């Protein structure tokens, strides 16, 4: 019987994703750094706060964040655990609707404003079309999220960033999947005058053949797509019912691509 492992695209076993909140004008410089190094990020925006100082222009959302992910951060950034659930729903749906009109795709991610959440909000999110949500804090870990609605990043960029990045680059055991997830706010680089930190990190991490560079939702879709694969009882073939390609490793670790809608003999 074949032994099959889930893989990231290209048969890779490591993934890197970035996540930044609030849609401040400093996103422009941060995205330029990401693009120069082939790194992808998710940007959580508040649709009701664009008229406040130092925010990006909503008309530049489609072009500025092209190649990255735009996700929700609620419309007006309330501490939602203190709000009635109907208000929470309105905050998220209003944010989704505004952002979807400017991106042209379903907006399915969220980061909790002020890190505020509750069990009731967590249960509500799938009903609002949200597939994942990020909490605050640092896990100091490269483990995959066990609960996508309490997704904690590896680190904030001001917490052991270079040290953890070097550890991540050194990971080599392909029997595991690893994820490095960095979060923050782009205005913090101006506040602490440490843009060189992110520039150095992206130079160090970019262009690696064993890393998949992805947005938050691309990572989540990859994990979901693997769960939908339909394997023969002896793993001799597999059918991919989805539209996106999936990747697995078979026996000695050989990567195999399963095109969307096709059956592949293993």
Nearest of 196, 176, 174, 155 to residue 17 by alpha carbon: 155
Distance CA 70, CA 52 (A): 19
pLDDT of residue 253: 86
Q: What are the tens digits of pLDDT across the range 12-57?
A: 999 999 999 999 999 999 999 999 999 999 999 999 999 988 999 9
pLDDT-based confidence at residue 176 (cuts at 50, 70, 90): very high
First-residue to last-residue Cα distance in the chain: 10
State percent of the chain over pLDDT 90.
97
Q: Residue 72 forms beta bridges with which residues?
A: 45, 110
Which run of H or of E encompasses 86? helix 85-103
pLDDT of residue 251: 92
Q: What are the tens digits of pLDDT across the range 64-77?
A: 999 999 999 999 99
Distance CA 210, CA 171 (A): 10
Residues 6+ apart with CB under 8 A from 135: 112, 115, 117, 150, 151, 152
- Taking the CA atoms of residue 234, residue 239, residue 244 and residue 248 in that order, the dihedral angle to the nearest 10 degrees is 20
Q: Alpha helices, DSSP H only, in 229-262?
A: none
Q: What are the tens digits of pLDDT across the range 84-117?
A: 999 999 999 999 999 999 999 999 999 999 999 9
Count other Cβ atoms within 10 Å, centred on residue 90: 15
pLDDT at 215 over 90: yes
pLDDT of residue 91: 98
pLDDT of residue 53: 84
Identify whether the C-beta of residue 240 lies closer than 8 Å to the C-beta of residue 258.
yes
pLDDT-based confidence at residue 252 (cuts at 50, 70, 90): confident
How far, CA to CA in Å, does 146 sit from each of 47, 132, 149, 181, 223?
A: 29, 11, 9, 14, 11
pLDDT-based confidence at residue 137 (cuts at 50, 70, 90): very high
Query: Which sequence spans correspond to the domains of the chain?
Result: 13-221, 225-265
Identify whether the C-beta of residue 182 lies closer than 8 Å to the C-beta of residue 161.
yes
Distance CA 30, CA 157 (A): 12
Q: What are the tens digits of pLDDT across the range 193-205?
A: 999 999 999 999 9
Count other Cβ atoms within 10 Å, centred on residue 120: 10
Distance CA 257, CA 247 (A): 5
Give the mean pLDDT of 198-220: 98
13-221 CATH fold: TIM Barrel (3.20.20)
pTM beyond cutoff 0.85:
yes
């Amino acid at each position: 019987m074949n032994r099959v492992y889930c893989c990231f695209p290209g048969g890779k076993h490591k993934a890197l994703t970035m996540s930044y909140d609030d849609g401040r004008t400093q996103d422009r410089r941060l995205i330029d750094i990401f693009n120069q190094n082939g790194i992808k990020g998710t940007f959580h925006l508040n649709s009701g706060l664009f008229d406040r100082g130092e925010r990006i222009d909503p008309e530049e959302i489609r072009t500025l964040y092209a190649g990255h992910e735009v996700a929700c951060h609620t419309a007006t950034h309330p501490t939602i655990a203190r709000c009635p659930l109907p208000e929470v729903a309105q905050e998220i749906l209003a944010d989704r609707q505004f952002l979807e009109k400017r991106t042209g795709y379903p907006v399915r991610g969220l980061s909790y404003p002020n890190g505020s959440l509750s069990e009731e909000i967590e249960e509500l999110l799938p009903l609002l079309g949200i597939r994942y949500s990020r909490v605050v804090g640092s896990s100091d870990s490269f483990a995959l999220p066990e609960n996508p609605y309490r997704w904690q990043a590896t680190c904030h960029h001001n917490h052991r960033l270079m040290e953890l990045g070097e550890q991540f680059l050194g990971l080599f055991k392909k029997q595991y999947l690893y994820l490095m997830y960095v979060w923050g706010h782009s205005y913090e680089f101006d506040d602490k005058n440490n843009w060189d930190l992110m520039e150095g990190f992206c130079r160090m991490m970019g262009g690696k053949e064993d890393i998949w560079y992805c947005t938050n939702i691309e990572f989540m879709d990859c994990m979901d797509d693997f769960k939908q694969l339909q394997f023969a009882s002896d793993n001799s073939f597999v059918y991919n019912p989805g539209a996106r390609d999936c990747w697995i490793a078979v026996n000695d670790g050989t990567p195999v691509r399963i095109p969307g809608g096709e059956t592949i003999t293993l």
